[in-house]
Structure 1
Amino acid sequence: MDVTTAMARRRSTRAFASTPVEDSLLKHIVYTALDSPSGGNLQPWHVYVMTGQALDGFCKAVATRPSSQQQSSAYPAYPANLWEPYRSRRFENGEALYDAIGIERDDKKGRLRQAAKNFNFFGAPVGILLAIESRMGHSQWLDMGILMQSIMLLAVEQGLATCPQASWSHQSDAVKDILNLQGDLQIIGGIAMGYADPQDSINNWCTSRAKPDCVTFL
């Protein structure tokens, strides 16, 4: 599969089959992604890959944490008072997602249940968490995004599905405690990975893309 095809096929998948991902395949994806570029070749990433009992135990530990212990993220999910056209894009994205799984706009409990699935990686057999040292700068956060994209495209090449998850940034302290991570680390996000469940309606929905008028050729 070429990169163009992988780009076209990548989706944020939110329902996975129970089929495990072979360790050799998983290591190939993650280790190959480490060839991603980074400013000054700092390679600022710390990557934690969980499967099997380790993943199950981690997700159970997260689920038993009181909601009051959820912290503020190191970065806002969206700017305050989001403006157009971004406000409409975000609204339409959310409405289309919940429509795909039959959750009404006023069904707050249903929406909360769906949001909570973030914290078991949507049932994926692979959960990846990414961290960076808190003292790193904005340029290094850009490097982390490049790494995440590399992991996701390499997964698509191997017939796997993924979902990038900024939601894990709200659980940084809990993650560090559960995994006994030392040092000045900030969890910036995660990636759910596995084989997509084709029977789940949430995987039949796909986001739209804006016209390419954001690109200027000079």
Structure 2
Amino acid sequence: MTFDEVIMGRRSTRGFKPDPVPRALIEEVLTLAMRAPSSMNTQPWNFTVVTGEPLDRIRAGNTERNMAGVPHSREFRIGQAFAGVHRERQIGVAKQLFGAMGIARDDADKRLDWVMRGFRQFDAPVCVIITYDRVLDGSDDTPFDCGAVTTSLVNAAWSRGLGAVINSQGIMQSPVVREHAGIAADQVIMKAVALGWPDEGFPANAVVSERKSVAEAARFVGFD
């Protein structure tokens, strides 16, 4: 694919085939991802790539604890709930997804099932957990860099025929993630990326989120 084809064609994948992803291909994707910009070349990011039984144990523990009402323990700050236009965009993409999946507004069971899919990392065969060095906790540059490398990761995956979705629900219960992924205490868990071969028959995979225009997002100064 050309660069433009990757950027314009990529979409979040929420339905995956069960087929395994070769380790060598994941290493290739990570090699590309780590060319992302990094503030003063600090490269704060680290990756724990999980599959098989350890991932199944994370899915089970994450789901069970959330269903039991155990308060979430996400380690990277969440911030305030979205409001205004940001909330409107959040609702907008939810409507797109629920429409594609045939989930009615009053269908509580299907809505719950959708939430559970997020807790299970959308049943992807691979989960890439992005962490950063705890010694950098509190730095504004560090999450910026981790966001950049995560964006590069999902684009690199798409360029190789893989699907991915950036996922926070799958790491809501950090003790479970730490235990079964063996994440060291000197790391802060920031995000997860569900990764695998896209299931082209899964309706939500066809959803392309609506984006605001350049005219809405950008101001040009000194060009006239």
Q: Same fold (TM over 0.5)?
A: yes
Gaps of 5+ in 1: none
CA deviation vs aligned residue, 1:17-41 (integer Å, no higher than 9, x gap): 1222122111111133222221121
Distance in 2 (alpha carbons) for counterparts of 1:80 and 1:72: 16
**Partner in structure 2 of residue 144 of structure 1:** 146
Instruction: Give the alignment partner of residue 216 of structure 1, picking from 199, 216, 219.
Output: 219
Alignment partners' CA distance in 2, 1:216 and 1:111:
39
Distance 2:203 2:50 in 1: 26
CA distance in 2, matches of 1:182, 1:21: 25
Contact 2:58 2:176 in 1 (8 A): no
1:205 alignment partner in structure 2: 207
Contact 1:44 1:140 in 2 (8 A): yes
Q: Any conservation in 2 of the 1:17–1:194 contact (CA below 8 Å)?
A: yes
Q: Is the 8 A contact 1:95 1:105 kept in 2?
A: no
Is the counterpart of residue 108 in structure 1 residue 111 in structure 2? no
Pair 29,198 (structure 1): closer, same or farther in 2 beyond 3 Å? same
Q: Distance in 2 between matches of 1:116 and 1:202?
A: 15
TM-score (norm 1): 0.89
User: What is the CA distance between 1:45 and its match in structure 2?
Assistant: 1.1
1:116-161: CA deviation from partner (whole Å, max 9, x where unpaired): 1122221211111111245241210000000101111111111111
Residue equivalent to 2:191: 189
**Alpha carbons of 1:168 and 1:64: their partners in 2 closer, same or farther (altered >3 Å)?**
closer
What TM-score does the superposition give when structure 2 sets the normalisation length? 0.86
Partners in 1 of 2:100 and 2:121 — Cα distance?
19
2:70 maps to 69
Query: Is the 8 Å Cα contact of residues 62 and 176 (structure 2) preserved in structure 1?
Result: yes
Instruction: State the number of aligned residues.
Output: 216
CA distance in 2, matches of 1:109, 1:57: 24
- Distance (whole Å) between structure 2 residues aligned to residue 132 and residue 114 of structure 1: 29
* Partner Cα separation in structure 2 for residue 168 and residue 75 of structure 1: 15
Identity of counterpart residues, as a percentage? Answer: 27
Task: State the AA in 2 paired with 1:114.
Answer: W
Residue 118 (structure 2) pairs with residue 118 (structure 1): yes
Calculate the aligned-residue CA RMSD, in Å. 2.0
Secondary structure of the corresponding residue to residue 99 of structure 2:
helix
